[in-house]
Amino acid sequence: MQELTLPRPDDWHLHLRDEELLATTVPATAKVFGRAVIMPNLVPPVTTVEQALDYRQRILAQRPADSAFRPLMALYLTQQTSVDTVRAAAENAEVIGFKLYPSGATTNSAAGVTDIEALDEVFAAMAELQVPLLVHGEVTAAEIDIFDREKVFIDTKLRPLLARHPKLKLVLEHITTGDAVDFVLEQGSNVAATITPQHLLMNRNDLLVGGIRPHNYCLPILKRREHQEALQRAAVSGSPKFFLGTDSAPHGQSKKEAACGCAGCYSAPAAIELYAEFFERMNALDKLADFASHFGADFYGYERAKEQIKLVRSEWTVPATVDTAIGPMVPYWANEALQWRFEG
């Protein structure tokens, strides 16, 4: 096979950041993806519909003229989020749902949730109105090993949450463990998950063996090989519960290569090619269209894309850096070869 056509894919988990960086991040995604769920962890966070719509306009201002890319805005869930805000979100077609960050779990999450149970009235409204909850699934207690934080969150927070609100529409984002795969499969059709390219293509050896590799550092952190293999099986299984979400997260090179480097992999410059690389390695290119273009749209209730994109078999090397207004950024898979190239 020398060419691969797909319905235009969607990215159901994306960080664009803001201001001058949008000139780089928006075109990188808009050239390939039809829609993307935009994460709200700015400083200050995007907590209201009005703030989300303002942010959306800043994104659209950087959208290429020939692109129909549609940013779908998530609101940042806090302890102060009200039922009125949930209702306002439900009434606005450009707001897709709420993002739950446990406070301190990842980049710009200090304003996140500290007491999930105290928000039960908000979750009840979300379940009633079918407003999705997008979850960064990790506990942050210092005594919990970083490699166990996803499983502990599932067992102590998510299972009780869904027991209290069984109709809540929930996406467990960037899953990293076999425990997460099993949890999603055990739930009804109202629960799904996104999977990133880095968690499909790498495990913790790629972070730690031969030296610490800061550009492979993300949160939730890469896990052991057996968990990677569980994610790989889920992605190619054909289950509609698993779909594409890059979690592409841009950071300046100086912020990553630091004594306390930040978490995030900037995969947008090669996102669809990275997924194609993985699906071909698994002899499952026939499953890529569903994973990348169909299942996410189905879950969120959007029409499937009709426009097609084309990938061609043509080896290329991901650039060492990307020049931006904040300085160079090192993309995920930098200096490494990929076998498929996006052609348009």
Tell me, letter by letter, the H, E, C secondary structure of the chain.
CCEEEEECCCEEEECCCCHHHHHHHHHHHHCCCCEEEECCCCCCCCCCHHHHHHHHHHHHCCCCCCCCCEEEEEEECCCCCCHHHHHHHHCCCCEEEEEECECCCCCCCCCCECCHHHHHHHHHHHHHHCCCEEECCCCCCCCCCHHHHHHHHHHHHHHHHHHHCCCCCEEECCCCCHHHHHHHHHCCCCEEEEECHHHHHCCCHHHHCCCCCHHHCCCCCCCCHHHHHHHHHHHCCCCCCEEECCCECCCCHHHHCCCCCCCCECCHHHHHHHHHHHHHHCCCHHHHHHHHHHHHHHHHCCCCCCCEEEEEEEEEECCCCECCCCCCECCCCCCCEEEEEECC
201 marked as binding residue: no
**15 known ligand binder:** yes
Distance of CA 300 to the CA centre of its chain: 14
CB 152 within 8 A of CB 176: no
Q: Are strands 95-100 and 170-172 parallel, antiparallel or unpaired?
A: unpaired
Q: Is 219 annotated as a binding residue?
A: yes
16 is in an annotated binding site: yes
Q: Is 215 annotated as a binding residue?
A: no
Instruction: Count CA atoms within 13 Å of residue 131 on its CB side.
Output: 29
165 belongs to an annotated ligand binding site: no
| Backbone φ and ψ of 46, nearest 5° | -90, 100
| Active-site position among 10, 11, 247, 290 | 247
Those residues with Cβ within 8 angstroms of residue 251's Cβ, 6 or more apart along the chain or in another chain: 107, 262, 264, 266, 329
* 283 assigned ligand-binding residue: no
| 8 has binding-site annotation | no
| Tokens encoding 94 | 């450009």
- 247 catalytic per annotation: yes
Binding site for Zn(2+): what residues are annotated?
13, 15, 99, 136, 174, 247
Q: Which residues are catalytic?
A: 247
Binding site for substrate: what residues are annotated?
15-17, 41, 136, 219, 251, 263
